[in-house]
Amino acid sequence: MTILITGATGQLGSLVVKHLLDRIPANDIAVSVRGPEKAADLSAKGIDTALIISAEDDNAKRIAQHRTAVDAAKASGVKHIVYTSIIDPKADADFTYSAIHLDTENYIRESGLAYTLLRNSFYADLLLAGVPHALETGDFGAPAGDAKITYIPRNDLAEAAATVLANPADHINKTYDLTGTKGVTHDEIASYIANATGKPVKFVDLPAEVHTGILSGLGLPGHLIEALAGLYVGAKKGDYETVSSDFETLVGRKPQSVEDFVAKALK
């Protein structure tokens, strides 16, 4: 059995490799540092199961890349695809990247290959980007209102993926909703930052146009700005507040809470 991990030098992929090395011999792991469209790069080594980690690009390009990855994997003899999707993928979601994942999920199912879909909630790690400004100004800003989001650390999602990859036959044609322990508000997150650092930090509910202006000023691509803006619109509708126990069922423990993650990250 050989497991291929695409994007193995990326932030998620490298953590998956780390956790997988704790579970299976290194010579059973193949890695590709290139994007998911190169999923069959190492087909000569006899890949049985491939982890396709979603790429970073606009919707049209990512959909094409993911479909190419599935086609290449099937053509090279891969039997089982594990895919990092998003929680509650929908074609018309305000979080525009959601449509990419729905398309890819459907394409994988239609391929006839065995599959496992890891529907990841949003990385708790992303919250740390706002910490320097919050500590400097006392304001932790986002257009989030009182929305609750089930953030989960990237490391936990990597461990869940490694758990599946170590025994892929146990997870054929299964879908896992991988969320944090609870939906947290940005007001709560601000309090976690304050508690961890001993500095006064409060949540500031930014107007949407101010938020997108800040992101534009950082030089982020338009498709990413649109997706991030849509994330908060959807969150305020309750799209990302539902908690699943799938992580605990899969890994055998609860995921690290956002409060604990922030506290340890800011030590």
Q: Identity (one letter) of the amino acid at 176? A: Y
Q: Is residue 92 part of a domain?
A: yes
Distance CA 97, CA 91 (A): 9
- On whether residue 132 sits in a domain, the answer given is no
CB 144 within 8 A of CB 239: no
pTM of the complete model = 0.94
Phi, psi dihedrals of residue 139, rounded to the nearest 5°:
-115, 130
CATH code (residue 55)? 3.40.50.720
CA distance readout (Å), 37 to 32, 45, 47, 67, 200? 11, 18, 15, 8, 46
**Residues 186, 140 contacting (CB under 8 angstroms):** yes
Distance CA 27, CA 25 (A): 5
Task: Look at residue 211 and tell me if it is in a domain.
Answer: no
Q: For residue 160, give the nearest of 37, 256, 70 by alpha carbon.
A: 256
Total number of domains constituting the chain? 1
Enclosing domain of residue 83: 3-120+154-179+243-255
Determine, yes or no, domain membership for 86. yes
Residue at 91 is within a domain: yes
Instruction: Tell me, yes or no, whether 140 lies in a domain.
Output: no
Considering the domain boundaries, does residue 104 fall inside one? Answer: yes
96-144 confidence digits (pLDDT tens) = 999 999 999 999 999 999 999 999 999 999 999 999 999 999 999 999 9
**pLDDT tens profile 149-190:** 999 999 999 999 999 999 999 999 999 999 999 999 999 999
C-alpha distance from residue 252 to each of 139, 247, 249 (Å): 37, 8, 6
Is residue 229 in some structural domain? no
- Do residues 81 and 65 make contact, with C-beta atoms less than 8 angstroms apart? no
